[in-house]
Structure 1
């Protein structure tokens, strides 16, 4: 189960997110559901179509158990397999 304390150890596919800070001001406020994730990118389904955004250049807001948490992209810019604990 995803919680505020362990979100960075989980897969993000299927979660809703919003960019709250970015080196690219044009993407601040972009929100939608994460469709796919690679080591360095999220593919987000927005109301205006699908966008691929670099994880490390933005801060991402997620709502877990009715609590908002902001995660710095640099902290999650790993392959999902590595972040989830697939390597011993």
Structure 2
């Protein structure tokens, strides 16, 4: 399945450029860089030599897909990456 704005939440996020555009913690707004790691609850974003751990459930992210900005509510990303990207079974992400 190709990576498109519609399928973004079902794909691997590591390597994508992202910016935090809204968050319950005002200090997190504006964090941007590349996703270097993802866990159930966190996205790890790195830019230059800085690394941030941003909770998924309390932020809204803007991902850059080939020049197109795709906004995603972090609550839609909360799950183990392997389960979220699953193509079979009763995945709620299908």
Bin for the TM-score computed over the shorter chain: over 0.9
The CA deviation string for residues 37-72 of structure 1, in whole angstroms up to 9 with x for no partner, is 000001111235111111111000011132111000
Query: How far off its partner does 1:33 sit?
Result: 0.4
- State the SS of the aligned residue for 1:82: helix
Instruction: Indicate if the aligned counterparts of 1:3 and 1:65 stay in contact, CA closer than 8 A.
Output: no
Q: How many equivalent pairs are there?
A: 88
Unaligned runs of 5+ in 2: 90-94
- State the SS of the aligned residue for 2:82: helix
* Root mean square deviation of aligned Cα: 1.3
User: TM-score, length-normalised on structure 2?
Assistant: 0.87
* Counterpart in the other structure of 2:92: none
User: TM-score, length-normalised on structure 1?
Assistant: 0.92
The CA deviation string for residues 7-28 of structure 1, in whole angstroms up to 9 with x for no partner, is 0000100001000000000110
- State the SS of the aligned residue for 1:32: strand
Instruction: Indicate if the aligned counterparts of 1:39 and 1:79 stay in contact, CA closer than 8 A.
Output: yes
* Counterpart in the other structure of 1:23: 24
CA 1:6–1:86: 2 relative to 1, 3 Å:
closer
